[in-house]
Structure 1
């Protein structure tokens, strides 16, 4: 599958606000299932942790699927494009080195959705971490190794 033709439209009108909670999604180029191995997936998780260490964002919940991720974050001292650029570029270098490959890992762009204050944040987090169940990868979320939520 080629890069999404509407990826540039996803970026139009994007607004980054410190303290705002966002649900972020990024997809591997050509939907290649790079993260079927949990050890490879942990390379991406390290970048989520690095974003927290650098005070860019606080991870509230995340799941790494074989060919994409969902990341619920509270944005800190950063913009969405800068956060995603850092996360995707650092993880691409680590994953490519680990797998002995080169070239682009991620599709261009990303999807974001600001979470309104009146939304049930725990329900959004549950939706994120239940992705492996909906995809038929596991029957119980605790059987899937690549997820976490702040409240658990």
Structure 2
């Protein structure tokens, strides 16, 4: 059976997730995580992507990507393909690291970007891996609140500008916004349902 075609749009905004083969871990140590982040940055520069948020879990990752040139598949092929090569070489393994194709949701930027970025960085809290979002060093949250240096490709200023014109106040408001999302389920449930039901799905109001 032929694979369904993906809708790829110039300026498209996507929530992308990719999981480990047979639910296996895709990061075995911090070196793997740093290597993946460096590769994500390289992919964003090479394929002219803007990254709005990311989160590395244990057996999967989440990224929120804006594709200026409508080339999601090419970039994802490079991201997962090169990481698989590096992972297998470093750990003396062979075979698949990721389970099948990545999954992507096309998102309306004006309506869902803030909710989606919150959803992504709260994943470790929802999974009970940490008690507070700032305790997880492998997401874009700390860079967004100016507690660590962001990836070159991470778009922080645009996100913060949605909260306040003053950056310091915007950070405080963003922090409160993220923590207020811990008990909110509707956007999470809609995102999970879309991811589980299709290889690609538009999220609309």
TM range (shorter): 0.7 to 0.9
* Other-structure match for 1:65: 57
Q: Deviations over 1:27-63 (max 9, x none)?
A: 1101112325222122211221011221331111000
Per the normalisation by structure 2, the TM-score is 0.64
- Measured in 1, the distance between the counterparts of 2:86 and 2:5 equals 31
Structure 1 position 13, deviation (Å): 4.0
The gaps in structure 1 that reach 5 residues or longer are 1-7
More displaced, 72-81 or 84-93? 72-81
C-alpha displacement of 1:78: 4.7
Q: Give the CA deviation at 1:97.
A: 2.0
Higher relative contact order (CA 8 A, sep 6+): 1
Q: Secondary structure at the match of 2:37?
A: helix
**Which of 55, 62, 74 is the matching residue for 2:47?**
55
Larger helix proportion, structure 1 or 2? 2
- In the alignment, the residues of structure 2 paired with residue 77 and residue 90 of structure 1 have an alpha-carbon distance, to the nearest angstrom, of 21
Contact residue 56 and residue 83 of structure 1 kept, 8 A: no
For residue 42 of structure 2, give the secondary structure of its aligned residue in structure 1.
Answer: helix
Alpha carbon RMSD of aligned pairs, Å? 2.0
User: Given the two structures, how large is their TM-score scaled by the length of structure 1?
Assistant: 0.85
Number of residues paired by the alignment? 144
1:136 & 1:73 partners in 2: Cα distance? 25
Matching residue within 113, 124, 135 for 1:132: 124
Q: Which runs of 5+ in 2 are unaligned?
A: 145-154, 157-170, 172-205
Deviates more, 1:137-146 or 1:19-28: 137-146
Q: 5 Å matches for 1:1-16?
A: 12-16=4-8
Question: Following the alignment from structure 2 to structure 1, what is the Cα–Cα distance between the partners of residues 92 and 134?
Answer: 30
State the 1:120 CA deviation.
3.3
Report Cα offsets for 1:121-147 as digits up to 9, x if no partner. Answer: 121101001001111111112211211
